[in-house]
């Protein structure tokens, strides 16, 4: 007999956005949330979460599964979270084999499983629902009993709850990366700003009782597939994902001039008229940027509406403070995006993003780099974060845990670092104002794409995406993808003034006048 509880999230006002869509799991009661929901997990743990975050719990005999977020099954697009978690809990496999049994499931989620002997947590394929954890060795019993583990959806929440302090070495590294309201900085490996807090990387599970983290994928090489088989499988999985998504939510589609959003647009062909397409226009170029011009022309030619969302030159201090408490790192990022989306975008829609595409694009290839000789310094150079000791230690630990790898190390690095850290942080930052889901975040789909020859996945052409778009909506390619940017002298001068700090010395009226002139050039 299976029983389920399914709290109904409620719409929040702007004043109630703090810690939105976050959770905390700990042995102690949590007082960080203003008006939380709470779910007991057994074994002394309690899951406390914001009301806008869905939590669903199911029990079958001794086994309990608790879902945070949403599951999607492209083979059963009509199935809701309740049916999918009930099916999963009934699988006749040991608990530590359940992560492998989720290979056919997409979405954005974390799963907690407990069978009385083990208590495990694992995430969606690219950890787009981040989980951060802290082990409590002081709670271990004298006879070697369990180590208590606490988890949260972002590390600052965990640190505040447990009274943790910032690691000065991590802070020194992060401060060297700068502080921007536009760029997104991320910490390498599994590190956070706090000495004893780590992130649960994709392809790993964490034992809550022992605090032990273990890699469970990959176990074998990915067999090569012929081109037609790759395209056919990918199309089936993508279409199934979209059907599952559009059955649940009205959709918003962020558009740029790039491959990822173009693939999402082609996927949306059957429901294109129902999707709210929008593009963020960043200063100083604004509407002149190709990331705005190209989708505007394309969507107009397809007869689709398109909203251009202008990001502000500066962020309101109150909003910035709210967001930086939500994701507190010295280089926060996304404040301008989030403020614009909260004010100007419909709030009832799920954002359909092309996130996780980086996993399959064969990044960071250099002829002198081989798996057997790859070093932490090589990785730091590839992602341009400098050779700070904090970064090198984190990347060395990642390499040690990844070797020996049956799949190319740089593909695994993109999966677990670019998608599992950088894009996961970006998505978590935006949770304050917008929920999002990525159809590419599906293990079977990613493995199928990785089965294609590397030359057909590599940027800038990304032949794999081009071929899928041609199959799903050829007219989506009537505009160029990622054309080179052309900038007027005024735009170049304004950008230079911003980089050297001259903007701060210019009168507000002059800065606004420059922006109006740039807009008129469009």
pLDDT digits (tens, 9 = 90+) for 486-512: 765 555 555 555 555 555 556 666 666
> Highest mean pLDDT: which of 176-185, 202-211, 480-489?
202-211
Three-state DSSP state, 112: strand
Element (H, E) at 292: helix 290-301
pLDDT at 145: 52
> Beta strands 251-254 and 350-352: pairing type?
parallel
When pLDDT is cut at 50, 70 and 90, the band that residue 27 belongs to is confident
User: What angle, 0 to 180 degrees and rounded to 10, lies between the N-to-C axes of helices 259-267 and 463-472?
Assistant: 20
Confidence of residue 137 (pLDDT cuts 50, 70, 90): low
Predicted pLDDT at 28: 76
Q: How many CA atoms lie within 13 A of 266 on its CB side?
A: 24
Sheet with strand 63-72: strands edge to edge: 2-5, 55-60, 63-72, 106-114, 119-123, 204-207, 213-215
Question: Residue 12: pLDDT above 50?
Answer: no
Euclidean distance between CA atoms 23 and 406, whole angstroms: 34
Q: Measure CA of the first residue to CA of the last residue in the chain; give whole Å.
A: 63
Percent over 90 (pLDDT), the chain: 66
SS3 content of the chain, % helix, strand, coil (to 5): 40, 15, 40
The tokens of 12 are what?
A: 């929040």
The total number of residues written for the chain in this structure: 522
Q: What is the pLDDT of residues 364-393, one digit of tens each?
A: 888 888 999 999 999 999 998 899 999 999
pLDDT (average), residues 98-124? 96
pLDDT at 452 over 70: yes
pLDDT number for residue 418: 93
- For residue 320, the tally of other CB atoms under 10 A from its CB is 17
pLDDT band at 305 (very low <50, low <70, confident <90, very high): very high
Contact 5, 87 (CB under 8 A): no
Mean pLDDT for the stretch of residues 427-445: 94
Mean pLDDT for 417-439 is: 93
pLDDT at 111 over 60: yes
Is the pLDDT at 92 greater than 50, yes or no? yes
Strand-by-strand arrangement of the 197-199 sheet: 37-42, 45-49, 23-26, 148-152, 132-136, 197-199
For the chain, what percent of residues have pLDDT higher than 70? Answer: 85
pLDDT of residue 135: 84
Sheet containing 436-437: give its strands across.
307-310, 276-281, 251-254, 350-352, 436-437
Report the distance separating Cα 425 and Cα 387, nearest Å: 22
Lowest-pLDDT choice from 444-453, 467-476, 491-500: 491-500
Burial (CB < 10 A; 0-12, 13-18, 19+), residue 175, is exposed
Q: Which two tokens stand for residue 204?
A: 């790993």
* Residue the block writes with tokens 């794999």: 464
Strand duo 132-136 + 2-5: pairing = unpaired
The pTM of this model reads: 0.89
Query: Can you give the pLDDT at residue 29?
Result: 75
Mean pLDDT of 241-248: 98
pLDDT of residue 510: 65
Residue 142 has pLDDT above 50, yes or no: no
Q: How far is CA 460 from CA 218, 258, 446, 449, in A?
A: 27, 10, 19, 16
Omega prior to 284 cis, within 30 of 0: yes
Cis peptide before 333 (omega within 30 of 0): no
Average pLDDT, the chain: 88
Rg for the chain, CA atoms, rounded: 23
Give the C-alpha separation, 64 to 4, whole Å. 10
- C-alpha span between 183 and 187 (Å, rounded): 13
Q: Which of the two residues, 82 and 176, has the higher pLDDT score?
A: 82
The CA distance from 287 to 297, in Å, is: 12
- The tens digit of pLDDT for each residue in 277-301 reads 999 998 888 889 999 999 999 999 9
Residue 325 CB-half CA count within 13 A: 13
Instruction: Decide if pLDDT at 10 tops 50.
Output: no
pLDDT of residue 133: 96
SS3 of residue 3 by DSSP: strand
Angstrom distance (rounded) from CA 421 to CA 106 = 18
pLDDT the model gives residue 113: 95
Q: Kindly indicate the confidence band of residue 24, based on its pLDDT and cuts at 50, 70 and 90.
A: very high
């Amino acid at each position: 007999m299976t029983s389920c509880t399914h709290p109904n999230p409620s719409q929040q006002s702007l004043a109630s956005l703090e810690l939105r869509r976050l959770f905390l799991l700990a042995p102690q009661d949590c007082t960080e949330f203003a008006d939380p929901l709470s779910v007991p997990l057994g074994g002394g743990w309690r899951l406390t979460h914001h009301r806008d975050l869905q939590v669903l719990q199911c029990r079958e005999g001794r086994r309990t599964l608790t879902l945070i977020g949403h599951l999607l099954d492209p083979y059963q697009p009509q199935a809701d979270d309740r049916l999918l978690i009930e099916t999963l809990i009934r699988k006749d496999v040991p608990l530590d084999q359940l992560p492998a049994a989720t290979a056919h499931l997409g979405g954005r989620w974390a799963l907690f499983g407990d069978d009385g002997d083990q208590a495990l947590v694992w995430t969606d394929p690219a950890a787009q629902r981040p989980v951060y954890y802290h082990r409590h060795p002081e709670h271990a019993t004298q006879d070697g009993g369990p180590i208590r583990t606490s988890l949260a959806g972002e590390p600052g929440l965990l640190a505040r709850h447990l009274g943790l302090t910032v690691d000065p070495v991590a802070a020194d590294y992060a401060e060297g990366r700068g502080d921007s309201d536009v760029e997104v900085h991320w910490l390498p490996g599994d590190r956070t700003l706090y000495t004893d807090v780590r992130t649960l990387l994709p392809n790993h599970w964490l034992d809550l009782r022992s605090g032990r983290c273990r890699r469970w994928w990959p176990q074998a090489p990915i067999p090569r597939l012929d081109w037609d088989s790759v395209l056919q499988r990918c199309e089936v999985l993508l279409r199934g994902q979209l059907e599952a998504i559009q059955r649940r939510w009205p959709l918003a589609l962020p558009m740029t001039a790039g491959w990822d959003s173009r693939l999402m647009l082609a996927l949306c062909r059957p429901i294109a008229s129902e999707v709210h397409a929008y593009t963020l226009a960043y200063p100083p170029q604004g509407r002149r940027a190709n990331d705005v011009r190209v989708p505007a022309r394309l969507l107009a030619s397809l007869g689709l509406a398109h909203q251009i969302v202008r990001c502000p030159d500066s962020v309101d201090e109150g909003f910035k403070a709210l967001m930086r408490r939500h994701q507190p790192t010295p280089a926060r990022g996304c404040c301008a995006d989030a403020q614009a989306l909260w004010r100007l975008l419909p709030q009832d829609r799920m954002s359909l993003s092309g996130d996780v595409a980086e996993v399959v694009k064969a990044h960071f290839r250099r002829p002198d780099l081989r798996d057997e000789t790859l070093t932490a310094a090589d990785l730091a150079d590839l992602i341009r974060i400098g050779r700070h000791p904090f970064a090198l230690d984190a990347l060395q630990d990642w390499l040690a845990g990844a070797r020996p790898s049956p799949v190319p190390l740089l593909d695994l690095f993109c999966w677990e670092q670019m998608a599992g850290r950088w894009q996961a942080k970006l998505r978590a930052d935006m949770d304050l104002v917008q929920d999002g889901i990525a159809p590419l975040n599906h293990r079977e789909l990613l493995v199928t794409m990785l089965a294609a020859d590397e030359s057909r996945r590599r940027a800038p052409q990304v032949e794999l995406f081009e071929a899928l778009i041609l199959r799903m909506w050829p007219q989506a390619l009537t505009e160029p993808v990622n054309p080179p940017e052309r900038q007027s002298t005024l735009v170049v001068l304004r950008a230079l003034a911003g980089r050297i700090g001259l903007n701060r010395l210019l009168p507000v009226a002059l800065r606004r006048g420059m922006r109006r002139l740039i807009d008129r050039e469009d």
